[in-house]
Amino acid sequence: MKLHSIDPSLLVGQSQNVDAKNLKKDDPEALRKTCQEFEAIFIQQMFKGMRQTLPQGGVLEKSSAQEMFEEMRDIEVARDAASQGKFGIGEALFRQLVELDVDKADAGDPETEK
């Protein structure tokens, strides 16, 4: 009987105590952290896709514990890579969103005005 594991990418966001209702609109550090979390999830999904391309089989069948360990390891490696900015996805997203916010403010968008 094979048990279905929980998708570990769901656990990435749970480790952060971020309440969306209490976030300040002009908090660049919260935005940077969110972009970094997005990068970690993206990298973890990339690892998951790459692992699926490997041929299955061998002498021993892979257990569910081994699969869970590999998924958890991928999550930690992805978090570490994102926190160090190895791929630069989070930083690029952060710069683009900040620039978009500045452009809206310059245009007089009532959503961005205080």
| 90, part of any domain | yes
Would 45 be classed as within a structural domain?
A: yes
Residue 23 domain-assigned (yes or no): no
Domain presence at residue 101: yes
Q: Domain count for the chain, please give it.
A: 1
Q: Is residue 24 part of a domain?
A: no
Task: Please give the full DSSP string across the chain, using - where no structure is assigned.
Answer: -PPPPP-THHHHHHTS---GGG--TT-HHHHHHHHHHHHHHHHHHHHHHHHHTSPP-SSSPPPHHHHHHHHHHHHHHHHHHHHHTSS-HHHHHHHHHHHHHHHHHHTT-TTT--
Q: Write down the mean pLDDT value for the chain.
A: 80
Would residue 4 count as lying in a domain?
no
In a domain, 106, yes or no: yes
Provide the residue range defining the domain that includes 107: 29-49+62-114
- Tens digit of each residue's pLDDT (9 = 90 or more) over 75-111: 999 999 999 988 999 999 999 999 887 777 777 655 5
The pTM score is 0.68
| 110 φ/ψ angles, rounded to the nearest 5 degrees | -65, -20
Residue 57 placed within a domain = no
